[in-house]
Structure 1
């Protein structure tokens, strides 16, 4: 009960009197309690539990049989959740234009005391549920777009529409937020499905590519094996007759089989030189094949630096003498031994020295200069066994190399100019082998050159003096 009083003053001077009023507010208190319960109960729910809790609380608070939360599609109305005679029902789709919800969404709010008389006799809520009265509010997004409705229905006139309006408005914004959140989650699920589908497609494509790669690798390995076998067989088949040719040529030139005249010796010398060139070419091809197959290995030992240089120079002395090219070697006396593969290092030095003689004109000069340098002044990484690098530099006064052609030098089967193939014999394999030998020793090859003045090729290695 609510009590109130008012004081009444009298004009004739008599004492004032009071009027008291007692008001029964039980219904209002009950309604406020119901609304508070509704707000607290629904607010505690979220996600999939929100809409079922909402329609149940609204139905109980307003004492109606039916509550719907709908979402407008293109030409249909999706009932997200409904309360029908005490039961939560799953979502369904009905026609938009035959439902009073369409009017609600259009107008923002809609009250219909008699659905049959108002033209909704064919509506599913009238035909299947027997609903008579209706009240609903539109669900509006933050941008003002109406996306659905929240409505109540009953088989008798709905009592206290203002109260129903107040309760539904309390939850309209929350319903809108939940619908938008649901749509966002739905879009996210669709995006995830698309991403999963793309990942699956790419995974399958990658698996197929890997299978194809495995097949290709197997075929490549087989082809490499066949190539190695072919080269091994061919090297034997080619070397056997070449050895006979070279041996007989040397024997004839040394007058082992009798005296020869000058013309015959010149012809035999040409045969011998051509045979040796062919043998060198075969050996280079085999070395490149070993490099590509990973079978090019080193056998290191302690080698005298001076001995290594002198033995390398001895191979090209005759060729240099014919061109009147002066040879000079500079090996400091304090340089003793170095741990390298003697055979491979001589092969690398002879290759560089032969190139120097080949590209140096008559009367030129070639210098093999060996020196030590602190390892941090080179491009070598720090090596624990040595603080210094040893440099074998071969400088000549030859034709030189242009800067744009230096990068081509170490590519197999490549010469910097096709005219060189005709003017200077060679396969273009030598420098590839030199580079590989240097790198296998933990070093590298550097080049400096100037056209018309000459070139300097340097093999830079860690200076290691003792075997581990």
Structure 2
């Protein structure tokens, strides 16, 4: 019985009494199993009369080889289909990635534009509130003086939030400019502390530990380095109870960097929440801070970005109820 793959050619050859070679035939065994053979044959004719007497030839069982080839073809076909599906999915992912990047860029551009637009009138509000608080235009009674101080405090707070949002937009669009220059570490720490010392004094915090005794010189963008430490000192002041302590430890790491640790003996951060501290819009932990202190939750996120852009980093060690240690790694000026 001829199989589909070899039947037509073999039929034509035998009808014309011609030889055929390696044509595929299906044959059934006595047990009913179908086997595949490659058969080759030549016609046999009576030497006297020339009458066709049949074919003489040989065959080879190729069942296993043919089945293996068919299985390989099926596997290849399935792999080709899978590859096509993966290619299509990759194209879709690429499109989604581009769309997400475009959406992020549009969002950040919008935030940056809105931040600029909001700061202009806000600066005017803060300026007039400062003038009123200083009684530049004349004496105020106690109630109006209190109102002007509230306006000034709220305006400065709002300006800080807007600045944080603008910084995030600029950072995520890689538009921030970092200008490294050699600066005494002591100058950076002193400048940052001066901006928060009034809040620390108001809570009667011991800040005597905030000092840099060595003459280390770091390679940083001065404004951004001060911004980092202002944020860390602000958090230390904010989350340390009255009459608590904040301080600074400094240690060279031996790899061309210096580790500057801002520590406090405040409320600390639970271990299971510490992985959130550098995420955007996180106020470290709702359980600990319970949003008692206002803010965007962007300060630490921005600070780590800035530290890394300057070739450093920020890490955290903390125990709930015992305080926190934020360590800033900064590059030292080469000798």
Q: TM-score, normalised by structure 2?
A: 0.81
The partner residue of 1:451 within 282, 300, 320 is 320
Specify the alignment match of 1:291 in structure 2.
171
Distance, in Å, in 2 between the alignment partners of 1:194 and 1:340 is: 62
Distance, in Å, in 2 between the alignment partners of 1:334 and 1:284 is: 31
The partner residue of 1:437 within 288, 306, 323 is 306
Matches within 5 A, 1:210-249: 210-249=90-129
Q: Is 1:201 paired with 2:81?
A: yes
Change (3 A) 1:209 1:428: same
The partner residue of 1:366 within 236, 246, 250 is 246
Q: Is 1:340 paired with 2:220?
A: yes
Larger Rg: 1
Distance, in Å, in 1 between the alignment partners of 2:103 and 2:86 is: 25
Q: TM-score, normalised by structure 1?
A: 0.60
Q: Is 1:352 paired with 2:221?
A: no
The answer (yes or no) to whether the contact 1:302–1:465 under 8 Å persists in 2 is no
Change (3 A) 1:296 1:184: farther
Q: Secondary structure at the match of 1:283?
A: helix
How far did residue 234 of structure 1 move?
A: 0.9
Q: Is 1:331 paired with 2:212?
A: yes
Specify the alignment match of 1:88 in structure 2.
19
How far did residue 152 of structure 1 move?
A: 11
Matches within 5 A, 1:48-63: none
Q: Is 1:308 paired with 2:239?
A: no
Q: Secondary structure at the match of 1:345?
A: helix
How far did residue 456 of structure 1 move?
A: 1.0
The answer (yes or no) to whether the contact 2:252–2:259 under 8 Å persists in 1 is yes
Q: Is 1:280 paired with 2:160?
A: yes
Specify the alignment match of 1:409 in structure 2.
277
Specify the alignment match of 2:53 in structure 1.
none
Q: Secondary structure at the match of 1:330?
A: coil
Distance, in Å, in 2 between the alignment partners of 1:92 and 1:224 is: 63
Distance, in Å, in 1 between the alignment partners of 2:83 and 2:35 is: 40
Specify the alignment match of 1:179 in structure 2.
61
In the TM superposition, what whole-angstrom CA distance separates every residue of 1:152-196 from its partner, at most 9, and x where no partner exists? 99788xxxxxxxxxxx9xx8xxx5xx424xx33323332333233
Distance, in Å, in 1 between the alignment partners of 2:328 and 2:159 is: 25
The answer (yes or no) to whether the contact 2:36–2:61 under 8 Å persists in 1 is no
Higher relative contact order (Cα pairs below 8 Å, separated by 6+ residues): 2
RMSD over aligned CA atoms reads 3.4
How far did residue 80 of structure 1 move?
A: 10
The answer (yes or no) to whether the contact 2:313–2:329 under 8 Å persists in 1 is yes
Specify the alignment match of 1:398 in structure 2.
266
How far did residue 78 of structure 1 move?
A: 7.2
How far did residue 436 of structure 1 move?
A: 1.0
Change (3 A) 1:451 1:225: closer
Structure 2 unaligned regions, length at least 5: 47-56
In the TM superposition, what whole-angstrom CA distance separates every residue of 1:428-456 from its partner, at most 9, and x where no partner exists? 11111111122222222121112222111
The answer (yes or no) to whether the contact 2:189–2:211 under 8 Å persists in 1 is no
Change (3 A) 1:418 1:185: same
Specify the alignment match of 1:4 in structure 2.
none
Change (3 A) 1:398 1:79: same
Specify the alignment match of 2:330 in structure 1.
461
Greater shift, 313-322 or 452-461, is seen at: 452-461
Specify the alignment match of 2:50 in structure 1.
none
